[in-house]
Amino acid sequence: MTALKNSIRDLLRYPSAILGSVILLFLLAVSVYALVTIPYSEAVRLWRGGEEVWYQNPKYAAPAWFNIFYSKKKPVSFSVRTTDGSMSKATTPSSDPEISTVDITYSFDYAYEGVPQELMIYFTSQFKDKFSFVSVSWITPDGRTIRIADMAVDHSLTFRFSQDQKLQKRLKTEDVMQAIFMDPESSTQADLKGQYQLVINGTTFEKDATIDAEFVLHGELFGAAGTDKYRRDLLLPLLYGTPIALAFGLLAALGTSLLTMVIAAAGTWYGGWVDELIQRITEVNLVLPFLAILIMVGTFYSRSIWLMLGVTILLSIFSGSIKSYRSIFIQSKESSYIEAARAYGASSSRIIFSYLIPRMIPLLIPALVSAVPSFVFLEASLAVLGLGDPVLPTWGKVINDAFADGALYQGRYYWVLEPAILLMITGFGFAMLGFALDRIFNPRLRDI
């Protein structure tokens, strides 16, 4: 307990350790948040979902906070619905018990430069035989009322403003968005800023019939992280990619470091052919093309992240560090406390695990922490190479999608930068902590 307290106190003396720890704690918090709020199966479902899941979102939208950097603010997407009360709905029964009217209105401030990509209303209605009926109108900030549509509502109905031909005819233009957001008096094609109102007057013709609506505006910006080609909210892979990246990095680092150490210790301890074999395997492994093998496994067998993790660990165990651990173990092996342990009958496994390895823990911990980023990057690189896990939302996958879609050529920097920055922050956090740990555990390095 006191030892733990002391090491924490030691750590706090290093600014880099504090910075590293803050970053890692933040990533940890994000991971916990992601795992708690989005169950695994839900994450997979959303990530693999298409239009039916993500219809509310615009394509290729940068994050909403990009407006901070623009002097001309771009339209930010939103969606509101009557089912959760974000859009108001009032039902009034009439004298005829069969008939009632449903009034849905939504007003919003529009203070952006330019027009939205699209406006949509998704109607859902419940009835037995008789269709409900709605008429939609649009009230502009200067008080004009534009009739948008009158129609019967089936059980569900999607109304897209810009694709409605009747509306195009009525407005005498193909560009509905221009027509309903522009000031007709203005000579300079400027959009009208101010409060717009959507008014839906519905009528139901059965006793228990209902009408609900969802109003969606596709702007050029969306949410905290933006969207991709498939309208997917990038917040999902950014959030959910955190625990995956950390898990992959930590497990791979822990797995390789511990196994490498145990193997190096066992080889040194038993000596003879065991040691020889380990040495030779290491030498062969060092010249094996690591990435090529992973690519082969990914291409011909499976791209599951857990399989990749296993192969990564397997290929990293017999790394160069086996040799450096070995040289230290050879010294420890000759120490008189190990001779004493043999004299009182400690078994080989006891000597390996209780005498040889604990001595190395001061070296192991910083090495382990510093090894994490390279594995995090590896996972991302695999994904970028198209060998990412096919079902999991990961940072690397986002970069991969972005590249595949030529995001950088299209100026969609956010798409690449967001996951890339997260990767860098993660690497930076572990590296900072690793430096400090190295200095604490190996005081001889302090002056270097």
Partner 1 sequence: MVAVPQAKDIENKENTRKTVLSIDDLHVWFELKRFGFGHAGYVKAVDGVTFDIHESETIAVVGESGCGKSSLMKTILALYKPTKGKIVFDNKDLSELDNKGLHWYRSHVGYVQQDPYGALAPFMTVQRILEEPLIVGGIKDKENRIQRIHKAMEEVKLTPVNDFLQKFPHMLSGGQQQRVVIARAMIMEPKLLVADEPVSMLDASVRVEILKLLSNLQEKHNLSVIYITHDLSTVSYFSERIFVMYAGNLVEKAKVRQVVDNPLHPYTMALLTGTSEPDAKNAETFKELPPGEPPSLVNPPTGCRFHPRCSKVIKGLCDVKFPPEFEPEPGHLVACWLYQ
- Residues in touch with partner 1 (CB under 8 A): 335-337, 339-347, 350, 354-355, 358-359, 361
**Could you tell me where the DSSP H helices lie in 301-443?**
305-317, 320-333, 336-343, 348-350, 357-382, 395-404, 413-441
Q: Find the helix or strand (DSSP H, E) in which 124 lies.
A: strand 118-126
Q: Least distance to partner 1 from the beta carbon of 1, Å?
A: 11
With vertex at residue 87, the alpha carbon angle to CA 81 and CA 89, rounded to the nearest 5 degrees, is: 105
- Residue 387, token pair as written in the block: 């060998």
Select 355 or 430, whichever has its Cβ closest to partner 1.
355
Q: Least distance to partner 1 from the beta carbon of 335, Å?
A: 6
Residue the block writes with tokens 């008939």: 99
137 and 199 Cβ atoms separated by less than 8 Å? yes
DSSP lists the bridge partners of residue 402 as none
Select 155 or 350, whichever has its Cβ closest to partner 1.
350
Q: Least distance to partner 1 from the beta carbon of 385, Å?
A: 43
Select 274 or 293, whichever has its Cβ closest to partner 1.
274
Provide the residue count of the chain: 448
Q: Least distance to partner 1 from the beta carbon of 261, Å?
A: 15
Q: Least distance to partner 1 from the beta carbon of 272, Å?
A: 12
Q: Least distance to partner 1 from the beta carbon of 406, Å?
A: 56
Select 144 or 350, whichever has its Cβ closest to partner 1.
350
Q: Least distance to partner 1 from the beta carbon of 345, Å?
A: 4
Select 90 or 343, whichever has its Cβ closest to partner 1.
343
Select 187 or 336, whichever has its Cβ closest to partner 1.
336
Please report the beta strands in 48-87, taking only residues with DSSP state E, as ranges in sequence order. 78-81
152 and 132 Cβ atoms separated by less than 8 Å? yes
Nearest to 291 by CA among 373, 367, 384, 370: 384
Can you tell me the distance from the alpha carbon of 358 to that of 365, in angstroms, rounded to the nearest whole number? 11
Cα distance from N-terminal residue to C-terminal residue, the chain: 30
Select 18 or 338, whichever has its Cβ closest to partner 1.
338
Select 194 or 443, whichever has its Cβ closest to partner 1.
443
Select 341 or 417, whichever has its Cβ closest to partner 1.
341
Q: Least distance to partner 1 from the beta carbon of 438, Å?
A: 18
Q: Least distance to partner 1 from the beta carbon of 323, Å?
A: 17
264 and 275 Cβ atoms separated by less than 8 Å? no
Q: Least distance to partner 1 from the beta carbon of 328, Å?
A: 14
Select 22 or 361, whichever has its Cβ closest to partner 1.
361
Can you tell me the distance from the alpha carbon of 282 to that of 270, in angstroms, rounded to the nearest whole number? 17
Can you tell me the distance from the alpha carbon of 219 to that of 177, in angstroms, rounded to the nearest whole number? 11
Q: Least distance to partner 1 from the beta carbon of 343, Å?
A: 4
- Residue 215, token pair as written in the block: 């109003």
Select 114 or 362, whichever has its Cβ closest to partner 1.
362
86: helix, coil or strand?
coil
Q: Least distance to partner 1 from the beta carbon of 346, Å?
A: 5
Task: Fill in the amino acid letter for 54.
Answer: W
Q: How far is CA 330 from CA 111, 145, 275, 366, in A?
A: 72, 87, 11, 21
CB atoms within 10 A of CB 348: 12
Can you tell me the distance from the alpha carbon of 106 to that of 108, in angstroms, rounded to the nearest whole number? 7
Sign of the CA dihedral with 203 first, then 205, 210, and 214 last: negative
Own/partner contacts of 85-91, CB < 8 Å, gap of 24 or more, are 87/213, 87/214, 87/215, 89/212, 89/213, 91/210
Select 37 or 335, whichever has its Cβ closest to partner 1.
335
